[in-house]
Structure 1
């Protein structure tokens, strides 16, 4: 949790840079921001391995094959072995680069993830004079737009993370980043010391509503549009929860 006296825009810049390093696998740099973070690539911590040409070609072949299969069959229905077979590589080659399908999905969307949080940071900086309630709503709108555009791949990242996560309460770097943004906005809305714990709780609950299982249920079963979901989240967690 960040100190409440730290300027919000400086905290966000610091965290966004850390997210870039996490997604790029540069743990040695990232640990200057967040000690103990987990790398998402298979490089050894602190190394600056130059990717060989054949490895780079394999990566592009894997990603192109995965995109094609995901578009044809859906992310959930495609196995790692199927990707390896269609890409014309051995399963060992695939698993040396990606330990699971979630890491492959993350590689496909990591540029979009960084762009999403950069857009959120830019929005928050340009609207810093607006009430925190409106800034939070605007940040949520940007994230939901990203979620809609990468729905299946994001679910693939989350599903793999849930399967491989051993400790309860741990999250992916993506959701740690989003959680931090939510907490900061709730702190601005409710700055009292007695509200700090409740602000974290509200961010926890809002984050659960934004994850794939809950979000897709509201979209596909309840029939809500993204804008309707945004309005209901705003009413529930900001207007009524404030």
Structure 2
């Protein structure tokens, strides 16, 4: 997809592929069951066996459809994730196109803080099972690429590959929840801290 300025637009990731009607029905049944397990027993209760029982399907069906628990949890949070991606890829400025790069970086990090806060427990589970799951998920690569492109416009001489990872690191769910629940930080305080990091790389 091309933007009006001629640059290639980043795709929204996480859209489920086209599938047969019976496969789509199984997918909805499994995701509904996983969401119900989370709502009634908490995110820690989500296992492939438990979800299979709740959905009335074999556990092999759950594994074939989703692969592992991390992918299943990411699928549960998928709708919220697609909304967030659409907002920074093609929504109104400053989060979407049309604002100065430094304003877009700030808006993106603030929006990601809100997005992390909304589903932090689910994100924690998805990011830590297995430990590298956060980086394997397509969303992280999209975030990283988005920031790297904007940072290159702000600081062409900077190591934007490193800086993109560095700006995303504080928004990992485990650190975010530690700051919120153990240190008692508000989301606004976390956003202020992100602004301070941006100031240090000339993006304030």
TM-score by length of 2: 0.83
* 1:120 aligned onto 2:94: no
In 1: Cα distance, 2:61 partner to 2:51 partner: 11
Partner of 2:15: 24
SS at match of 1:223: coil
User: What secondary structure, in the 3-state scheme, does the structure 1 residue paired with 2:131 have?
Assistant: helix
Shift of 1:116: 0.5
Following superposition, the deviation at residue 127 of structure 1 comes to 6.3
Instruction: Please give the secondary structure, in 1, of the residue aligned with 2:129.
Output: helix
1:241 aligned residue: 201
Structure 2 SS opposite 1:162 = coil
CA distance change for structure 1 residues 84 and 144 in 2, over 3 Å: closer, same or farther? same
Alignment-derived partner of residue 139 in structure 2: 174
1:109·1:153 contact (CA, 8 Å) conserved in 2? yes
**2:138 is aligned with 1:138:** no
Q: How does 1:55-66 map to 2 (within 5 A)?
A: 55-66=23-34
Residue of structure 2 equivalent to 1:184: 149
Aligned to 2:76: 108
Matched, 1:69 2:37: yes
Aligned counterparts of 2:5 and 2:173: Cα–Cα separation in 1: 28
Alignment partners' CA distance in 2, 1:8 and 1:213: 38
Matched residue, 1:45: none
| Residue 134 (structure 1) shift | 2.5
Deviation string 1:37-75 (CA, Å, 9 cap, x unpaired) is xxxxxxxxxxx6x4133x333222211111111112222
Distance of aligned partners of 1:231 and 1:89 in 2 relative to their CA distance in 1, 3 Å threshold: same
Q: Is the 8 A contact 1:65 1:83 kept in 2?
A: yes
1:51 aligns with 2:13: no
Residue-pair matches, total: 198
- Look up the SS of the partner of 2:122 in the other structure: helix
Are positions 1:152 and 2:121 aligned together?
yes
Query: 5+ unaligned residues in a row in structure 1: which ranges?
Result: 1-6, 27-47
CA distance in 2, matches of 1:109, 1:227: 23
1:129 positional shift = 4.5
1:221 aligns with 2:191: no
1:9 touches 1:125 (CA, 8 Å); kept in 2? no
Alignment correspondent of 2:161: 200
Q: Deviations over 1:155-191 (max 9, x none)?
A: 23212353669xxxx5421011111122222222212
| Deviant stretches of 4+, over 4 Å | 7-11, 124-127
The Cα RMSD (Å) is: 2.6
